């Protein structure tokens, strides 16, 4: 099994290779729906669109979990000192707000992988 230090290096090298695809964001973390958010500024993440195949698969279900405008946000584990929850909100540099729907990755992986959806304001 690879160490967390090796996973952190993979994340750092991946973010460096992606260059212009990496974006600065602000993260509002909440432990519960009623708790006051803890604001984490100047994080960097990679915004990945879900594949057309995955979107098409979800489109034929009664309750699609992945929609066309959804994003998978990759944040290096080294930047996150809290545990993400589905009560969290991410704010992009264009001031759009995105709600966390699903969480994967984390310690033992290079990234936290967050399935996020834009919140209509």
Q: What are the extents of the domains in the chain?
A: 4-118
Region at 106 (left for phi over 0; alpha for psi -120 to 50; beta for the rest): left
How far is residue 99 from each of residues 17, 24, 27, 53, 91, measured CA to CA in Å? 27, 16, 10, 23, 9
Q: Sign (positive/negative) of CA torsion 51, 29, 87, 96?
A: negative
For 94, counting Cβ atoms within 10 Å of its Cβ (0-12 exposed, 13-18 middle, 19+ buried), the class is exposed
Q: What is the pLDDT of residues 17-55, one digit of tens each?
A: 776 678 999 999 999 999 999 999 999 999 888 777 877
Both structure tokens of 112: 């936290």
Separation of alpha carbons 17 and 7, rounded Å: 15
Which architecture characterizes domain 4-118 according to CATH?
Beta Barrel (2.40)
Helices (H), the chain: 4-18, 52-59
Q: What is the pTM of this model?
A: 0.81
Q: What is the pLDDT of residues 55-84, one digit of tens each?
A: 787 777 766 687 878 899 999 999 999 999
């Amino acid at each position: 099994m690879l160490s967390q230090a090796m996973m952190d290096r993979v994340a750092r090298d991946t973010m460096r290779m992606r260059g212009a695809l990496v974006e600065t964001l602000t993260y509002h973390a909440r432990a519960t729906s009623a708790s006051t958010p803890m604001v984490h500024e100047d994080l960097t993440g990679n915004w990945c669109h879900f594949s057309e195949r995955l979107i098409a698969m979800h489109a034929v279900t009664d309750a699609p979990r992945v929609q066309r405008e959804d994003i998978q946000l990759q944040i290096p584990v080294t930047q996150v000192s809290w545990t993400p929850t589905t009560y969290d909100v991410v704010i992009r540099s264009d001031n759009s707000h995105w709600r966390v729907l699903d969480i994967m990755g984390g310690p033992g992986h290079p990234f936290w992988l967050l399935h996020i959806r834009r919140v209509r304001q």
